[in-house]
Amino acid sequence: MISRRHLILSAAALPLAGSLASPAMAAEPPVFQMGGVAINGIDPVAYFTQAKPVEGSDAERLTYMGADFLFASAENREMFEANPAKYAPQYGGYCAYAVSKGYTATTDPKAWSVYNDRLYLNYSRAVRALWAVDKEGHIERADANWPSVLG
């Protein structure tokens, strides 16, 4: 059931989602990264094991699909290495909502969801609220758009 507050938040986020997350103009790398580091240096495994974003360490670095992922512990790095398909963010860490709409956008590591044992990141918490309204539909559309949205 969708609450009134949720509808208001979603309506307020629509202009934000459209204006701040613009379509990609050039080919994007397969993993969103800033300064060569994926997920702004957040440990992807921690979303599953600690249910929150946890800063990774340069000492626990692993290159996957051309981007460096940082981990909070050797154990987390090993878990990722053993099963990157489980722990890597979907759509290369680009905003899952944006990919469902046919473009790429940056992500905020605090705007995340683990759904059906997969990690999804979003541009912002407001956009995550839009994503949450129809996760199944957004995933279906994003799956159809990925990876062609990279350009």
Q: Report the domain count for the chain.
A: 1
Closest by alpha carbon to 32, among 20, 48, 50, 44?
A: 44
Q: Using one digit for the tens of pLDDT, what is the confidence trace for 80-129?
A: 999 999 999 999 999 999 999 999 999 999 999 999 999 999 999 999 99
Map tokens 């722990």 to a residue: 87
Largest Cα–Cα distance in the chain? 46
The letter for the amino acid at 4 is R
Tell me which residue range forms the domain holding 59: 4-150
Q: Say whether pLDDT at 31 is over 80.
A: yes
